[in-house]
Structure 1
Amino acid sequence: MKKAIPNAITLANLLAGMLAVVFLVYGQLKVAVGLVLIALFADFLDGAVARWLKVNSPLGKELDSLADVVSFGVAPGVMLYGLISAGYSGGAWPSAVDYAALPAFLLAPFAALRLGKFNLDERQSEAFIGLPTPASALFVCGLVLLYLKPHPGWAEVFLHPLALYAVTGLLSALMIAEIPMFSLKMKHFGWAGNEIKYIFAGISLVLLALWRETALTAIILLYISLSIGLYLSKRKN
């Protein structure tokens, strides 16, 4: 019976991702973003509960990846599709198929590839290799929230279709890149060994205080930049 608890949480992740897609189709963007955040919480919770109950299983691992493909691959792909289409139509969320926006769905197969690699890669116990799919999803959620808010002129650059094509390509490439990305897990709370995590957390709090929910994209950009910077500095040494 205990084994079913984390699996049920994983399936809640999947359900939230599926519902996010439905709400996106009907233009309910805030609800969709909220559902992706619920999926993200469930994705964190299922592993924590499985470890606490000591019921880790191969089935749970596979279910987790399948759920993540939907919640952090398909749903963000639909978000990017809508944003690209809106960019071409003067800001209106799409109500019909827009072929020019279809490249946004590349995010989903690359998320699936990233998750398949993660399941087989034994190097990712303490850090990630490539951008985690939840981070990619949060980046896109941040763009949706930026789209919904009255935004300054500079934001139009990030919401331009050409920029969104580039975002699709970069996120897809980063998810499968052989670049270490730090994990927020800590073995202790001391400064030594956790410097990059505390720096990231501190700057993220400042960004949240300044920009609130629209800071999501900037926070993930910070995460990517710090990870790549740390990787390059280690290579030099």
Structure 2
Amino acid sequence: IPGLTMFKMLEPFGTELFGISFPFEIKYSGLFITLFSCLRLAIFNLDEDQKYYFKGLNTPSNTVLIFGLFYAYTQNQSFEFLFNNAVLLIVLTVISSWLLISPVKMIAMKFKSMKLQDNYPKLALLIGSIIILLIFKTVGIPLVIIYYILISIIFQKQLK
């Protein structure tokens, strides 16, 4: 579904990018998100290490990122710079697709202990997300996912 959303976001741009005419409409590149989501799910189902963290961005978070951007734009024209530029949308597609299968460890909300020091990443994620949503409201939805990615990278060594 996020692939179809990106397809919809790229629809107005036709077949030309940077003055180069492609033999297909650019909107089809948005479907790479769907392809990489399937690949990510296959990897996750075969990997036994991902009990207390995820390798790569999980598909629900990626969906919230793409839908959140689209929803914020349709509600109040937030992120308009993104929706008016096919290159930025394609870059977002590439980054989103890569994050799905990346080796970067991402926080999972599974607790292996109740020790405070074992849960700093989760607490930072929870508190930061609440603050972002209180400040930015609807626009904060995709920002929370970006924050989630950044917090996961910051706490990379603590995720085991």
Q: Post-superposition shift, 1:124?
A: 0.5
Give the alignment of 1:166-205 within 5 angstroms: 166-205=91-130
Say whether 1:142 aligns with 2:56: no
Partner AA of 1:156 in structure 2: E
Question: Which whole-Å CA distance do the structure 2 matches of 1:230 and 1:189 have between them?
Answer: 18
The structure number with the bigger radius of gyration is: 1
RMSD: 2.0
Structure-2-length-normalised TM-score:
0.84
Q: What does residue 224 of structure 1 align with?
A: 149
**Residue ranges of structure 2 left out of the alignment (5+ in a row):** 15-23
Q: Structure 1 residues 139, 99: CA separation in 2 closer, same or farther (over 3 Å shift)?
A: same
Q: After the TM superposition, which residues 1-237 of structure 1 pair with which residues of structure 2 at under 5 Å, given as runs? A: 75-86=1-12, 88=13, 99-151=25-77, 155-159=79-83, 160-231=85-156, 234=157
Structure 2 Cα separation of the partners of residues 161 and 147 of structure 1: 15
Tell me, in whole angstroms, the C-alpha distance in 1 between the residues paired with 2:93 and 2:39. 15
Tell me, which stretches of 5 or more residues in structure 1 are unaligned? 1-74, 90-97
Query: Residues of 1 paired with 2:82 and 2:150: CA distance?
Result: 17
- Paired with 1:217 and 1:189, the residues of 2 have a C-alpha distance of 29
Give 1:112 deviation, angstroms. 0.8
Distance in 1 between residues matched to 2:110 and 2:140, nearest whole Å = 22
Deviations 1:49-98 (A, max 9, x none): xxxxxxxxxxxxxxxxxxxxxxxxxx111101111224x38xxxxxxxx8
**Alignment deviations for residues 85-118 of structure 1 (CA, whole Å, 9 cap, x no partner):** 24x38xxxxxxxx812110000111111111111
**Structure that is richer in strand per residue:** 2
Q: Distance in 1 between matches of 2:42 and 2:73?
A: 32
Deviation string for 1:181-232 (max 9, x for gaps)? 111122445422111111111111111112222211101101111112222x
Counterpart AA for 1:173: W
Q: Which has the higher contact order (CA 8 A, sep 6+)?
A: 2
Extract structure 1 runs of 4+ deviating beyond 4 A: none
Matched residue SS, 1:192: helix
Q: Tell me the distance in 2 between the aligned counterparts of 1:190 and 1:213.
A: 33
Q: Return the TM-score normalized by structure 1.
A: 0.58
Give me the identity figure in percent: 26
